Structure 1
Amino acid sequence: MKRHQLILQQLQEQKHVQVPALCEALNVSAVTIRKDLKLLEEKGLLFRTHGGAALESPYIKDRPVNEKELLHVTEKTAIVMAAVRLIEAQESIIIASGTTMLALARALPAQLPLTVITSALNVGIELLRHPEIEVLQLGGYLRHSSSSVTGPYAEQVLTDTSCSKLFLGIDGIDLDFGLTTTNMGEARLNQQMIRAAQETIVLADSSKFGRRGFGRICGLDQVHRIITDAGISRHDAQRLEEQGIQLTIT
């Protein structure tokens, strides 16, 4: 059916689509589109999501950090180099957890004087090699899968701090639902990090778009800048810029 072909074509271009946009593009009702999406899902051609569809399953499972570290290495490298250029000497910044945050810590210049707050044990250990960087390592319950801490102790410390920038890694970006991670405790800690920072900068490769983790961190209205790679769809890039988010594509 030609309508099905057009739906799949839009999915290939955008990675995920919404029912209202398909209704407008194909001039049919929402009931018709939902039936089309159900049929295409049964054929294994897409995954239905809340209000639309995606090429890949939108729901993310937690995976060990050493496994995630092997994914999208080239893209992460370019993303963190763009992030490093935003950091100025003598700043106090927060580096959250995740493999992209570890890559950021590794990319920091050795002689750049900074104060860094981090929830990630591997980030803190990496920064020990930098004599000019003061590290405030947050404490709490250590997550084996991410080598990072969560819990009220870490959250309490952040209520007494104020930093210029938060560099945040996430598991999913849904343009309607917002930023997510696979762990609710980590989502709560990330929320407190956002409150403690003047600017929130998300580092995420393009595979994270159109996906959701279990714990919601925040809506996109709390994000100032996103750094991603050229795999982001034009549709997603346009929507982010329409919301006033500074977008850096590496």
Structure 2
Amino acid sequence: MINIAERHQYILHRIQAEGSVDVQVLCKELDVSSVTIRKDLKLLEDKKLLFRTHGGATLNNPYTVDRPVNEKEELQSSEKLRIAATAAQLVKDNDSIIIASGTTVLALARAIKPQGNLTVITSALNVALELIRHDNIDVIQLGGLLRKSSASVTGPYSDNILSNVFCSKLFLGVDGIDLEFGLTTTNAFEAQLNKQMMDASQKVIVLADSTKFGKRGFGKICGIEEVDHVITDSGVSPQILQQLESLGIEVSIV
């Protein structure tokens, strides 16, 4: 049996080569228990050599942080524009939709050019300001506590509106997508509002660039199985795509 130093060297070699490791795979390869591997991963995390995740570890920090909306808008901007253009094609004349908050759904609001009438419910002030420029779009702005970092509202004041409507689609932006943990955002109150939006929608469409996969935010929105459609970019791994499709989730790659 190899010693602890050799195990650690093996784990670090694997994670540097592949980006992530799985506890059960390491158990078989090193012929040790899962308890031993988990202790090894904790020691390596304490040395800031990796980040532990559910069932394994990764080189990339899986935890998202709240950033100002103007800062987030600069990240993966070209991918967001392509995702938004694809999502805009799903908006039909005389549709009633919900648009949540985030920079990717803000890009969607800018891409929407309806020929007929459209009703949009949104929690995001910047989304509402983009859409009111169109004479044929009726915008319903949800109320609540304004989050400066996201330019959107949270809290119970939106309950009354959302409990009395039903829309064809929810376009949802997220801070993290973990196939085991689900969809997350950095704010628990925003996560709760997103859940209510889902209840008021026939179809849930997630707009997320590939950097959001494998990340977790503080507030859980829902399990991945509750999503109908994901629109993302080509940076997402084939393994993730396969897992999404195996769950019956439609995936569009831009």
**TM-score, normalised on structure 2?**
0.90
Amino acid at match of 2:217: G
Name the SS for the 1:62 alignment partner: coil
CA shift, 1:236, in A, is 1.4
1:113 deviates by 2.5
Structure 1 segment 206-225 matched on structure 2, within 5 A: 206-225=210-229
Q: Secondary structure at the match of 2:170?
A: strand
What is aligned with 1:85? 89
Aligned equivalent of 1:10, options 18, 24, 27: 18
Per mean C-alpha deviation after superposition, the further-off stretch among 186-195 and 110-119 is 110-119
Q: CA deviation at 1:110?
A: 5.3
Query: Where does residue 132 of structure 2 map in the other structure?
Result: 128
Change (3 A) 1:21 1:107: farther
TM-score (norm 1): 0.91
Is residue 34 from structure 1 mapped to residue 42 from structure 2 by the alignment? Answer: no
SS of corresponding position for 1:131? coil
Shift of 1:56: 1.7
Q: Which residue of 2 aligns with 1:19?
A: 23
Between the aligned partners of 2:67 and 2:139, the Cα distance in structure 1 is: 27
Q: For residues 112 and 7 of structure 1, what CA distance do their matches in structure 2 show?
A: 52
Per-residue CA deviations over 1:25-58 (Å, capped at 9, x if unaligned) read 6665423433443454355442112322122211
Q: After superposition, where does 1:1-250 map in structure 2 within 5 Å? A: 1-2=9-10, 4-11=12-19, 16-23=20-27, 29-38=33-42, 40-42=44-46, 44-109=48-113, 111-250=115-254
Q: Which runs of 5+ in 2 are unaligned?
A: 1-8
Give the SS at the match of 2:107.
helix
Residue 4 of structure 2 aligns with which residue?
A: none
* CA distance in 2 between partners of 1:27 and 1:133 (Å): 62
Which one has a bigger Cα radius of gyration?
Answer: 2
1:64 Cα deviation (Å)? 0.8
Cα distance between partner residues in 2 of 1:123 and 1:45: 40
Q: CA deviation at 1:229?
A: 0.9
CA distance in 2 between partners of 1:106 and 1:89 (Å): 16
Equivalences, count: 246
Please list every run of 5 or more consecutive structure 1 residues that lacks an aligned counterpart in the other structure.
Answer: none
Name the counterpart of 2:5. none
* RMSD over aligned Cα atoms: 1.9
**1:123: Cα distance to partner?**
0.4
Q: Name the CA shift for 1:28/1:113 in 2 (closer, same or farther; >3 Å).
A: farther
Distance 1:37 1:143 in 2: 37
Shift of 1:125: 0.6
TM-aligned CA deviation for residue 81 of structure 1:
1.0
